[in-house]
Structure 1
Amino acid sequence: MPKVKLTILESNCRCNYFKTGDTFIVEDICPPICHELWNSIYPNVYTLLNGGILDYGNTKAKKFEMRCPDNGRVIIAGETLEN
Structure 2
Amino acid sequence: MAATRKVKLTIVESRCRSGFHTQGQEFIITEDKTICPPVCMELWHYAYPDIWALLNGAELDQGKEKSKCSVISCPDECRVKMQVEVIEC
1:21 has 2:48 as partner:
no
Of 60, 63, 66, 2:72 maps to 66
Deviations 1:2-40 (A, max 9, x none): 110001110000010111111111112211111000000
What RMSD in Å do the two structures reach over aligned CA positions? 1.0
Q: By how many angstroms is 1:50 displaced?
A: 0.6
Give the aligned length: 83
Q: Give the 4+ runs in structure 1 shifted more than 4 A.
A: none
Q: Give 1:82's aligned residue.
A: 88
- Residue 52 of structure 2 aligns to a residue whose secondary structure is helix
Q: CA deviation at 1:68?
A: 0.1
Question: Structure 1 stretches of 5 or more lacking a match?
Answer: none
Q: Which has the larger radius of gyration?
A: 2
Question: Is residue 3 from structure 1 mapped to residue 6 from structure 2 by the alignment?
Answer: yes
What's the % identity of the aligned pairs?
47
TM-score calculated relative to the size of structure 2:
0.88
TM-score with structure 1 setting the length: 0.94
Deviates more, 1:21-30 or 1:60-69: 21-30
